Amino acid sequence: MNIRSGKKCFEGKGIQSKKDSTLRSKVYGVSLGPGDPELVTIKAIKVLARADKIYYPATLTRSGEVNSFALEILKMHSISETRLKSMPVAMTMSRKEVDKVYDKAFSSIMQDLENSLCIAVVCIGDAGLYSTFGHLLERLKKASVTVEMIAGVPAFVAAGASAHVPLALGSDKVLVLPDFESTDELDKCLDRYETVVVMKLSLFGEKLYSYLEKKRIGFVYAEYLGTPREFVSRSLNDLESRRIPYFSLIILFNKDQSSRNLCPEK
């Protein structure tokens, strides 16, 4: 889909036409979904088509190169790079250094609003779930900026769909973890919840296979969802020597595995 250049009035259901004075104080948090460009919602597409400037998250490598999964999705929708601005964060940065990146982005956004520009801030997955936009949201609210968040498909929901597995049934409880401190902590979570999602699986590293081999519970492992590099598996053998990338997650099931056909595949 070819997205046209930014315009200062939003039209269509859910995005009503507004005067410039209103637009100057409004920022859109736009969810891009897990990676598949077709999972970007119609509402998100409309916002991106009319935004004058689009801020996107990026990772700064040790060599100074800027990488961005979000940028890849934006390019798939033919968005002009003249409207794009990165928010690069290095994996080695401290929390204080990361906050400085968001402070700088916030200042830039406020200047854009003063110049009557329509602003969108995009993120992978959903804007309300462990997203870059969440870091800017508090700053924007303190400045009395009106915000609209466009919902999207979280990666773990897409993973369940790709594996043809329900995340929960009936009264099942679901827990979503960004990461965990120890396998003991994870065990306690599995004792209390039928489904446990771990979003930052790369921290698990080489321990993943041995943990799953010991637990013998149902799981769905997924990486690079919605991209040509997508890999989804319920087989323990697939993970024995697999390197776990940053964009990976796992869904663990701890109830009625057999009746739901969630037992780990060999």
**Dihedral of alpha carbons 251, 257, 262, 266, sign:** positive
Which positions of the chain have pLDDT values less than 50? Answer: 4, 8-20, 23-24, 258
Task: Note the pLDDT of residue 180.
Answer: 83
Check whether residue 68 and residue 135 sit in a common domain: yes
Tokens matching residue 17? 């036409």
Predicted model pTM: 0.84
State the Cα angle at 222 between 220 and 226, rounded to 5°: 130
User: For residue 159, what is the domain's CATH number?
Assistant: 3.30.950.10
In a domain, 72, yes or no: yes
Task: Note the pLDDT of residue 13.
Answer: 43
Task: Give CA torsion, residues 140, 142, 146, 147, to 10 deg.
Answer: 40
User: For residue 79, what is the domain's CATH number?
Assistant: 3.40.1010.10
Give pLDDT tens digits for 13-66. 444 444 445 544 689 999 999 999 999 999 999 999 999 999 999 988 777 778
Check whether residue 171 and residue 229 sit in a common domain: yes
* Closest residue by Cα to residue 242 from 213, 197, 207: 207
In a domain, 138, yes or no: yes
In a domain, 145, yes or no: yes
In a domain, 266, yes or no: no
| Sequence-ordered list of residues with C-beta below 8 angstroms from that of 117, at least 6 positions apart, any chain | 6, 8, 52, 53
In a domain, 262, yes or no: no
State the DSSP code for 133: H
Check whether residue 32 and residue 138 sit in a common domain: yes
- State the residue range of the domain holding 211: 155-253
Count of domains forming the chain = 2
Check whether residue 177 and residue 102 sit in a common domain: no
In a domain, 182, yes or no: yes
Last residue of a domain, one of 124, 150, 176: 150
Last residue of a domain, one of 150, 172, 200: 150
Task: Note the pLDDT of residue 10.
Answer: 46
* Closest residue by Cα to residue 222 from 210, 213, 233, 211: 233
CA distance 221 to 252: 9
Task: Note the pLDDT of residue 7.
Answer: 52
In a domain, 230, yes or no: yes
Check whether residue 184 and residue 142 sit in a common domain: no
